[in-house]
Chain A
Amino acid sequence: MIASSSFDKTPFDKARGIGATSGVNSRASHALFKLFAYETLERWASVGALIEDVTGASGSSSERLPAMVCEALRERHRRVFGFIASHQSELECAFSAGKLTEGKLVEQANKLPEAVRVLRQSQHALAKIERLLAQTGGLQQRAELGFLMSETRQWEIDQPARNRRAKANRVRSSADKPDPKFWTVYEEIQQIDAADWDHPAWAASVAWPVTPSRLPIRWAQNPVGWLLALRSQITQLSARLLAESAEGHKAMQTLRMRLPSVAQQAYGADVVLAALIGIRCYGPAWYFTRVMEAVNQFDTGFLQILEPLMFHALNFFNFSDKNLVLMHDSVLRGLPLWQQLAEVKPAACARAESGLYAEAAHTGPEADALGGSFALNEALTDALDNVLSWAEDQLPDAHACQLTQGVFTDKHLKRCAPMEDILGDDMLIASHRPYSLAHVNVLLQEKYGDSLDVDASGVPVSGQAMHGLHGAGGFSSVLSSVHSPGSTSGHSGPSGHLMSVYHLIGMLAEEPISCREMITAGWLHKLNRASVMVYDTLLTSAFETDNLCSAQCPLPAAALRFMNHVNSRSRLLLKSMETAQVHQMLMALPTQSSAQWPSKPWYDSEKALAAPSVPAPSESVSANYAIAAAAMASLEI
């Protein structure tokens, strides 16, 4: 386990006051497990929504898959969920809700590996469905397949009475068959089975690191994890910064010397720097994304080595949020369990992991070799601070104009917390107001008093206004006030201020929010609600396998609720990003060309990520900003 002595000096730990008891470790393990479970279920929900979208039940896609492929996809998806549902009792034990003694918590922690195994297997199956979706009708390929689909549909219409399986076989052998792509895919879908989780072919197709062409299509609809697509740009930027700065080179050399040798072998200096530069450019969202990716992949090497460095970088840049502390604490205390789970490889998963968790497999042994020796001691902290100061100099706030929106600062994070609440209310988070509503309300009340409220009959409800209309002064006094010279819009306030109503209306003008902040708000929302949603989904009484076979309700109610929640949040985030783009354009602020518009990455991430060109190392330092700007362009506005 990682020694936490150096963390005790941080303000987070002083505020935290959590001891390293076994109960706390169990609780942290549970926290890590909940995040893992939430991630799995969210992925399941996203894929479910994508299937519904592609197959035409409720979505918005313009092209549809052939009915037989749709049905096969749905069936397999239901089967995956049925697999989770059939292991409900194991999950329930691991998820024992609240009011637990520490002894019970430790007892429950022993059952976590079994629950993790269940979720892990379902993840494998979902990854396979994702790959099939990407082949058949994912958003990226949809436009290309449009013509093919219409042909296939016509072919289906011509032969409505035939058996689907027989049709597939016949078409394969006939001369006038449509493109064999569908039938190959259909056969693959048919071959997925619960016992087939570890098929190496599909596992290899989702190997990391993520390249644009391999980007899982669920990220096209769920932007919260989409930052990972920018990893290659961040790596480029850090390599460029390092190559062009002697000072940085020196700082990195020092850091390299201070890092334990095992950590150096596991992660080179460029990987460490890229993680830190990512924090500088994207803030806590980068931390959340990378940590959740590592949790999802059982990448204990990352959790053990890079996560403490990234958390230190968050401290360095003054990012403070309770979710950051909770996540770091969960990783810190839950790491032993996660190491244990990474070592336990069920036979069904072993072969799959060779492809899917290639990175984790690579770093696993080194991480194990670290044991409890890795710690952020004073010398290492100093070296890290030097590197971070250098990164701060290289990417300063003053160059914000070159970086489109500048680096991510603590001010951005402070704006994200209320946005998370707004997102929780199912509201758009595309913009924010420079003036608070309360402030405008005070000015409004000061100027127009109680004459604002009217009841349903149109009569002012305030006593003062009623008196104004019906009193001795009566109508003439109202008329005189209406025509008073100080009143621009036909009203005069009791305070006699000369503020026009246009001033007050103008104070409601909103400013667009950057995509980075929206994604961060999405992460905060996700972390705050993960436990509740997971409990609700896994422990509700409506979660019964019997419902799976029902034609009217193909998925359990709790699962549908979870799916609706995840999908509504994703849709709101995407709509917020699009709205912010239009907002930015109308504010006459620098905006992207249509090729860089965020809708393109959702549908065609390859183009968007291929857009920035890498200049030669001999070019000026400003080229670094060009890379950073290009990297952010797909997220920034």
Chain B
Amino acid sequence: MTLLNETQMLARLVDPDPDRRLVITPLIRPEEQFGPTSIDVRLGTDFQVMRRTNMACLDLAGDPQKLAADVQRASHWVKVPPGEPFMLHPGEFALASTLEFVRIPLDLAARLEGRSTWGRLGLQIHATAGFVDPGFCGALTFELSNVSTMPLPLYPGVRIGQLCFYQSIRTNMPYNRKRYSKYSGKATTATSAFFQDPEYARIRAAMNETPAGAEFLQPS
């Protein structure tokens, strides 16, 4: 895995071969966005926060369609016009997306990282999911959280994250064609689709089955 530098990223952005071309659009001011080994990405206009509901939990044993509806019901979508801020209060968590639409070629992987400018103010842009698979196509989702004690006004279009790219061996299983891929092709903030993970189906099936050896535990 080799981290690409600025000229290599530039070469990938203008590569004549569409399969090798890295797409990041719009590049509004690339001179400002390019770093030695990274490209800054901007905040989009769609935000999603979890609201307080009377649901005790998202029960994994439940019906996936009901889970999907519950997740949607617990989500509140906020669309912020340009020039107006989204206020992220201390301790709050929100999903957002990049303004840029990204397409990663099959022989590159990417990592989404925060910018130190915002890190010093207490903004974290992802909790644990910063890796972008080869073949990903769409807007990247930020998992914003404010760990400072001051509310942070977040304006659409500000650079809050950066992407760095790793050269890898060309994959035969790109993300957009991967089985069980859930977030490819999304143009906006994507809600968690954990209920689509196949293991939950197995868990549900296991929970509905009688556990092995249960008959021996029955009182005689």
Residues of A within 8 A of B (CB): 56-62, 64, 157, 426-428, 430-431, 437-438, 440-441, 444, 448, 452-458, 489, 491, 501-502, 504-506, 508-510, 512, 568, 571-572, 575, 578-587, 591, 594, 597, 599-600
Contacts and interface: CB of A to CB of B under 8 A. Distances in A.
A501 B10 contact: yes
A491 B6 CA distance: 11
B72 A64 contact: yes
Given A454-B8, A505-B6, A586 B25 contact: no
Interface stretch (B74-82, B121-129, B212-220): B74-82
Contacts of A456: 1-2, 107, 167-169
Nearest to B29: A509
B82 A506 contact: no
A426 B137 contact: yes
B11 A597 contact: no
A582 B54 contact: no
Interface in B1-35: 1-2, 4, 6-8, 10-11, 13-16, 21, 23, 25-31, 34
Interface residues of B, number: 53
Interface string B68-108: 11001101110101111000000000000001010100010
Contacts of A505: 6, 10, 30-31, 34
A114 B11 CA distance: 57
B144 interface: no
A426 B2 CA distance: 29
B100 to A, nearest CB: 8
Given A426-B137, A585-B83, A591-B82, A509 B7 contact: no
A157 B54 CA distance: 10
Given A157-B54, A427-B101, A489-B6, A57 B30 contact: no
A64 B21 CA distance: 41
A337 to B, nearest CB: 39
Given A456-B167, A585-B82, A431 B25 contact: yes
Contacts of A452: 7-8, 11
Given A56-B69, A506-B30, A599-B81, A448 B168 contact: no
B27 A59 contact: no
A351 to B, nearest CB: 38
30 contacts: A56-B73, A57-B65, A58-B68, A60-B72, A62-B75, A426-B185, A427-B23, A430-B25, A431-B26, A438-B16, A440-B10, A444-B10, A444-B11, A453-B8, A453-B11, A489-B7, A501-B6, A501-B10, A505-B6, A505-B10, A505-B30, A508-B10, A508-B27, A509-B28, A582-B44, A583-B99, A583-B157, A594-B83, A594-B84, A599-B81
A437 B29 contact: no
B188 to A, nearest CB: 6
Given A441-B11, A489-B6, A586-B28, 12 more contacts: A57-B68, A57-B72, A157-B54, A441-B14, A455-B167, A456-B1, A505-B10, A510-B26, A512-B26, A575-B188, A579-B26, A597-B81
A491 B28 CA distance: 25
A441 B26 contact: no
Contacts of B4: 454
Contacts of A60: 72, 77, 188
Nearest to B76: A62
Contacts of A582: 42, 44-45, 82, 99, 156-157
Task: Report the 10 A-B pairs with minimum CB-CB distance, sorted nearest first.
Answer: A458-B2, A428-B101, A431-B26, A575-B187, A441-B14, A452-B11, A585-B82, A582-B157, A597-B81, A437-B14
Contacts of B23: 427
Nearest to B168: A456
B139 interface: yes
Contacts of A448: 7, 11
Contact of B187 (A157, A455, A572): A572
A591 B156 CA distance: 14
Interface in B127-145: 137, 139
Contacts of B1: 456
A502 B68 CA distance: 47
Contacts of B15: 437, 441
A506 B29 CA distance: 7
A458 B6 CA distance: 15
Chain A CB within 10 A, most for which of B72, B156, B157: B72
Contacts of B65: 57
Chain B CB within 10 A, most for which of A438, A448, A452, A455: A452
Nearest to A509: B30
Given A59-B72, A456-B2, A599-B79, A583 B10 contact: no
Contact of B103 (A59, A427, A440, A458): A427
Nearest to A438: B16
B13 to A, nearest CB: 6
A443 to B, nearest CB: 9
B8 A430 contact: no
A63 B117 CA distance: 36
A150 B169 CA distance: 52
Given A454-B8, A510-B26, A585 B101 contact: no
A453 B105 CA distance: 14
B81 A594 contact: yes
A484 to B, nearest CB: 15
Contacts of B10: 440, 444, 501, 504-505, 508
A575 B139 contact: yes
B77 A61 contact: yes
A338 B129 CA distance: 56
Chain A CB within 10 A, most for which of B54, B68, B82, B167: B82
A571 B69 contact: no
